[in-house]
A and B are shown apart, each in its own frame.
Chain A
Amino acid sequence: MALLSKKDANLILDPLADNNPITIQVLGICSALAITAELQASLVMALSVIFVLGVGNVVISLMRNIIPSKIRIIVQLIVVATLVIIVDQVLKAYAYTLSKTLAVFVGLIITNCIIMGRFEAFALGNGPWKSFLDGIGNALGYGVILIIVGFFRELLGSGTLFGIPVLGNPIEKTGLYATGYENNGFMIIPPAALIVVGIVIWVQRSKNRALIEEN
């Protein structure tokens, strides 16, 4: 492992599984519920958060010694807001229909608890390189869950993946639909995301018993 020391590698790998921001820390749930009905929207949301959190963590980390601690939240907000507006404008310019689908949720990345959480908990106390890795790692952990949830919701709810029909045509009754199969309307509505996230948490904790809290 020449590229990253073991410690650095853990910064990226930990949030992917054993310290996942969604399934373990249960942060950033709102957007996970709202935009995961389609895989494409999930993917774009994941990429946006990777960009915002990766760059934001570096910026905050570089400024960590000059930010007065009394106004640090405001400074953090300005950094996130700037990055989010960049993402929003890029989406509007190059993927207009998609930005319509994501609607207000791109703007709401600002309020995503994961981002402020990483700024507070990590970037304010660590150097830029480590902060970058931590930001990427946490955003990837968030993105992985988004894509898992989006995959199941789109497949079961609409019978498509990335908008491409994979189970046949529901109107002409081809493919799987010829056998009487029908799309599951429940998967389209946000409560289904809550249940899918719950199942992911269930599977993860039964695979790794150390994650189960004592109570």
Chain B
Amino acid sequence: MSDKRLTFKKRLHILKHHYRGKKMAPAFNAFHTFLFAPNETTHSGSHVRVADDLKRAMNTVIMALIPVLLFSFFNTGYQHYSAINGFPQAFSIWDHFLTWENFWLGFKLVMPLVVVSYGVGLLIEFIFAVIKGHEVEEGYLVTGMLVPLIVPVDTPLWMLAVAVVFGVVIGKEVFGGTGMNILNPALTIRAFLFFAYPTWMSGDKVWVHGAVERTGTPDAISGETILGYLAQNGSYEYSLSDMFFGFIPGSVGETSTFLILLGGLFLIFSKIASWRIMVSAVIGSLVMGLIFNGVVDAGWISTGSKFYGLMSFEFWQHLLVGGLAFGIVYMATDPVTGAQTNRGKWIYGFLIGFISVMIRVFNPAYPEGVFLAILLMNVFAPTIDHYVVRGNVRRRMKRLKHATILPKDTEQAEVPKVETV
């Protein structure tokens, strides 16, 4: 490529110098760095700069979310048509699931959620960037994709917009923007929606498109989630493979444990998300599930108990239903709000899994506790880190006390022997 030709990249660089120092500079730079790495070099000191900056990390997470999003299009349609026409007797993926009809309905319903989430969220980020004169922070890229995936499909768009404004302003910007927030913004948005508009966020009507507006008519359909059935000690008709591959009702993107697992592996191998948090959260939920199974096996609660359905649920199946898998892979691993130390990550993840399953069982009004568990542990993450660091300091102080420190000028100086405890 000749040096004289004005490529798109060069044009943008020229424009960037043109905008420098003006009010619009942050807004322009946001789009610019979205496409190209900045051409600036550090002027003082020596800093090693790598290309996988925050924006690349965010893009990787979004890539891991794309399969889940595509699946959600099909599942939205599949759940809607199945609820109306009855579930197919001999289920075949090509005939009943991956159809244009399903895709088109899901696309029509889910894409507006995505557009509103990104539109409103980024607008606020831009406004704050221009007011504060900062660069636009990339933090919303992932949040904007997570939000539509963790709400019921029929959530009214204005509610989503209000919640996004609340979540981004109160959950993030008041703390100083990306990297300073103590709560995961996507979960703040979800929690706001849940407490503000509970009728749209829980119950047996919201998980399948059309169920709310058909309530009370002869065409009424229901879309209870598996956890909802269990909370009422009812039975459900979904097979294990349905649960694993995600052909079940639920929030838009949470159903397919299989694709979430693939996304999780992708994030682990690209070293974006912490495998420690994921593994320990899985262990935590299994342990809590085992405890509940043990309680049932020991005969401590009767079959009539309102907790029986969820307590007797096979411990490992908790990972397949509801938002537990999604929360563990995409939300608990948020590097800003999670624990930072390695040992802290184990504790943090374990408690997320443990508390999630506990809330599921003990909160019959709303049989899902992942978002509450993660928000709770977000608050405790700095405390966990603090004690992990203190513990480390204390251990090393103790080691120092028992160590034999040899004087520098002895003959053995070449082989310093330090006894550790």
Contact = CB atoms under 8 A, between A and B. Distances in A.
Interface of A: 180-182, 184-187, 189, 195, 198, 202
The CB with the most chain B CB atoms within 10 A, among A180, A181, A184, is that of: A184
A178 to B, nearest CB: 14
Given A180-B156, A180-B158, A186 B192 contact: yes
Contacts of B162: 184
A157 to B, nearest CB: 9
Closest 8 CB pairs of A and B: A186-B196, A186-B195, A184-B196, A185-B196, A185-B198, A182-B197, A180-B156, A195-B170
Interface string B191-229: 010011111100000000000000000000000000000
A153 to B, nearest CB: 12
A194 to B, nearest CB: 10
Given A184-B196, A185-B195, A185-B196, 8 more contacts: A180-B156, A181-B158, A182-B159, A182-B197, A182-B200, A184-B162, A185-B198, A189-B195
B196 A187 contact: yes
Contacts of A189: 195
Interface string B177-200: 000000000000000100111111
Interface string B300-328: 00000000000000000000000000000
A147 B262 CA distance: 53
For chain B, which range describes its interface: under 10, 10 to 19, 20 to 34, or 35 or more residues?
10 to 19
A202 B174 contact: yes
Contacts of A195: 170
B197 A184 contact: yes
A149 to B, nearest CB: 15
10 contacts: A180-B156, A180-B158, A181-B158, A182-B200, A184-B162, A185-B195, A185-B196, A185-B198, A189-B195, A198-B174
Contacts of B192: 186
A199 to B, nearest CB: 8
Interface string B152-164: 0000101100100
B168 to A, nearest CB: 14
Counting chain A CB atoms within 10 Å of each CB, the highest count among B158, B162, B196, B200 belongs to B196
A17 B174 CA distance: 22
Contacts of A184: 162, 196-197
A195 B169 CA distance: 11
Interface SS of A by simple majority: helix
Contacts of B159: 182
Nearest to B157: A180
Contacts of A181: 158
B172 to A, nearest CB: 14
A184 B192 CA distance: 9
A202 B162 CA distance: 19
Nearest to B192: A186
Nearest to A181: B158
A215 to B, nearest CB: 13
B216 to A, nearest CB: 14
A185 B200 CA distance: 11
B321 to A, nearest CB: 26
A51 to B, nearest CB: 35
B29 to A, nearest CB: 25
A180 B154 CA distance: 13
Contacts of B197: 182, 184-185
A178 B196 CA distance: 19
A72 to B, nearest CB: 40
A202 B131 CA distance: 15
B203 to A, nearest CB: 14
Contacts of B195: 185-186, 189
A144 to B, nearest CB: 22
Nearest to B169: A199
B66 to A, nearest CB: 31
A184 B156 CA distance: 13
A137 B156 CA distance: 45
B314 to A, nearest CB: 34
A195 B271 CA distance: 37
Contacts of A202: 174
A189 B196 CA distance: 9
Nearest to A186: B196
A71 B380 CA distance: 42
Contacts of B196: 184-187
Contacts of A180: 156, 158
A68 B162 CA distance: 57
A195 B158 CA distance: 21
Nearest to A206: B131
Interface string B359-390: 00000000000000000000000000000000
A184 B165 CA distance: 14
Nearest to A180: B156
Nearest to B158: A180
A176 to B, nearest CB: 11
